[in-house]
């Protein structure tokens, strides 16, 4: 890994020679600011990562110019034979990586993918079970301010009071009582492994669809660091970035046939794959973003290599090391630790809110997001927790030893949240610390 001062300046030189500098100096200046920030800060946001130069090249390629409404072999515009080849390539790579029967790569992001799942499986007013947002679930799993909470009946399932982990026994009781038509398994702030087999048993008992949201953990699944929901779930939705290191888009995996066809759908609507496709287009979206599909295809090729397995497993090792280092410094963690790529600091016993600590950490170059914790007494706009993730720092090449140092940086800020001199000192130390590591997509340009 090259860490010289010459290589550190290369990205700025490369961007400086780009057409953007001549065409739009203001945007170019903003871009350089972002480059400098990425190079000198610790990106600990669990939902962010670094795409490779190859992914960025494909995403910013000539495919940006293509309009390809429809699906391969059935477009509403001519001249899309090459686009068909590209989309089919992305589909086949997804199917091979996850072992699924059907894949759709057209969703614009994770939330649109989940919305398509709702429209393919349910009717407005149907009951949906999901983990509530304050306990780690996602907006699209039935939260009141989201379409999923306003268009469908919400049936939340919760966490065990002591372990703060999913209480599968209570979930089974709730499902048998409420008989939901769809059960979500997945989260945006849950640091433990999901038991897909147990969820599948429950869904089968109540004749419910089971949908997995793997937006955060898709790369961990491919790497073998987390169980694969395919085979247990009827349908799986995801973003295409985060731990799988693709562009900002989405995808859906599903079975071909509907196991619930006799109960839930009339004749000629038994093909689940077709219903998924029709929900994406033409029901919810128009033309797909072909440049994003190109970037996804590249990311999936990268994910098929042994290096992704090493990377995904290192993400988990780093998260566990960061969790242990923080525990040793006296911090409370939701569920007491982590099994995946994230951990949630529970700061209810601290004088400031999660938002206040996150803002002070950001001033010191430690980029996180404030997050609710189970039983949070504070408003969602301020919260009592902070979510930390290791995918991006792992992409930089950091390992367990660096996680101990990161924990020390976090501790310095949280112990002296009102001291600007401490913030400035840590900011300098963080920048020096980051200088020893390359940034994928920046340093190699």
Among the listed residues 67, 178, 359, 378, the single catalytic one is 67
**Cis? peptide before 407, omega within 30° of 0:** no
Please name the residues in contact with 210: beta carbons below 8 A apart, sequence gap of 6 or more: 182, 183, 185, 199, 200, 203, 232, 233, 234
Among the listed residues 14, 15, 40, 69, the single catalytic one is 69
How open is the CA angle 389-148-275, to the nearest 5 degrees? 100
For 207: left if phi > 0, alpha if psi spans -120 to 50, otherwise beta; the answer is left
332 is catalytic: no
The answer to whether the CB of 184 falls within 8 A of the CB of 131 is yes
DSSP 257: B
- Return the SS3 of 371: strand
242 is catalytic: yes
- Helix locations, 65-167, DSSP H: 81-98, 110-121, 147-150
The answer to whether the CB of 372 falls within 8 A of the CB of 385 is yes
> Rounded to an integer, what distance in angstroms lies between the CA atom of residue 346 and that of residue 109?
29
The answer to whether the CB of 303 falls within 8 A of the CB of 215 is no
Among the listed residues 43, 154, 242, 427, the single catalytic one is 242
- Return the SS3 of 179: coil
In sign, the C-alpha dihedral spanning 53, 362, 240, 34 is negative
> Rounded to an integer, what distance in angstroms lies between the CA atom of residue 113 and that of residue 225?
24
Residue 403 belongs to what H/E stretch? helix 400-415
Please choose, from the candidates 235, 269, 272, 240, the residue with its C-alpha nearest in 3D space to the C-alpha of residue 254.
Answer: 235
133 annotated to bind ligand:
yes
Among the listed residues 87, 135, 213, 234, the single catalytic one is 213
Q: What six digits make up the tokens of 118?
A: 């709702």
67 is catalytic: yes
Could you identify the residue written with the tokens 């400098």? 36
CB atoms within 10 A of CB 67: 14
57 is catalytic: no
Among the listed residues 36, 95, 170, 248, the single catalytic one is 248
Among the listed residues 41, 140, 239, 443, the single catalytic one is 239
Annotated binding-site ranges for (6S)-5,6,7,8-tetrahydrofolate? 133, 137-139
Annotated binding-site ranges? 133, 137-139
Active site positions, annotated = 67, 69, 213, 239, 242, 248
């Amino acid at each position: 890994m090259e860490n010289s001062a010459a290589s550190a300046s290369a990205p700025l030189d490369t961007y400086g020679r780009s057409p953007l500098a001549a065409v739009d100096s203001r945007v170019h200046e903003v871009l350089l600011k972002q480059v400098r920030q990425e190079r000198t800060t610790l990106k600990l946001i669990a939902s962010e990562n670094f795409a490779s130069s190859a992914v960025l090249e494909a995403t910013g390629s000539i495919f940006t110019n293509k309009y390809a409404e429809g699906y391969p072999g059935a477009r509403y515009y001519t001249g899309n034979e090459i686009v068909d080849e590209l989309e089919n390539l992305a589909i086949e790579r997804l199917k091979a990586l996850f072992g699924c029967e059907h894949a759709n790569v057209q969703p614009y992001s994770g939330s649109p993918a989940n919305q398509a799942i709702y429209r393919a499986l349910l009717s407005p007013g149907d009951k949906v079970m999901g983990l509530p947002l304050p306990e780690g679930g996602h907006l699209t799993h039935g939260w009141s301010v989201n379409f999923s909470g306003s268009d469908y009946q919400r049936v939340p399932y919760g966490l065990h009071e002591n372990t703060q982990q999913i209480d599968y026994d209570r979930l089974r009781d709730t499902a048998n009582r409420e008989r939901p038509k769809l059960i979500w398994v997945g989260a945006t702030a849950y640091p433990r492994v999901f038991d897909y087999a147990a969820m599948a048993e429950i869904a089968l008992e109540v004749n419910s669809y089971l949908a997995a949201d793997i937006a955060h953990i898709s790369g961990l699944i491919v790497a073998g660091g987390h169980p694969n929901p395919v085979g247990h779930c009827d349908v799986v939705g995801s973003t295409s970035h985060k731990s799988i290191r693709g562009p900002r888009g989405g995808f859906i995996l599903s079975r071909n046939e509907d196991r619930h066809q006799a109960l839930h759908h009339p004749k000629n609507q038994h093909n689940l794959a077709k219903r998924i496709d029709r929900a994406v287009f033409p029901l919810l979206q128009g033309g797909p973003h072909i440049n994003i599909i190109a970037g996804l295809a590249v990311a999936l090729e990268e994910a098929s290599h042994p290096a992704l397995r090493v990377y995904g497993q290192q993400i988990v090792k780093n998260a566990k090391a960061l969790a242990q280092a923080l525990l040793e410094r006296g911090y409370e963690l939701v569920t007491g630790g982590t099994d995946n790529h994230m951990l949630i600091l529970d700061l209810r016993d601290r004088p400031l809110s999660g938002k206040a600590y996150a803002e002070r950490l950001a001033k010191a170059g430690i980029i996180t997001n404030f997050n609710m914790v189970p039983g949070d007494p504070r408003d969602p706009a301020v919260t009592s927790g902070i979510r930390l993730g290791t995918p991006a720092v792992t992409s930089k090449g950091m390992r367990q030893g660096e996680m101990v140092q990161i924990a020390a940086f976090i501790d310095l800020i949280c112990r002296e949240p009102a001291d600007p001199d401490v913030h400035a000192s840590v900011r300098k130390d963080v920048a020096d610390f980051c200088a020893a590591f390359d940034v994928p997509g920046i340093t190699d340009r």
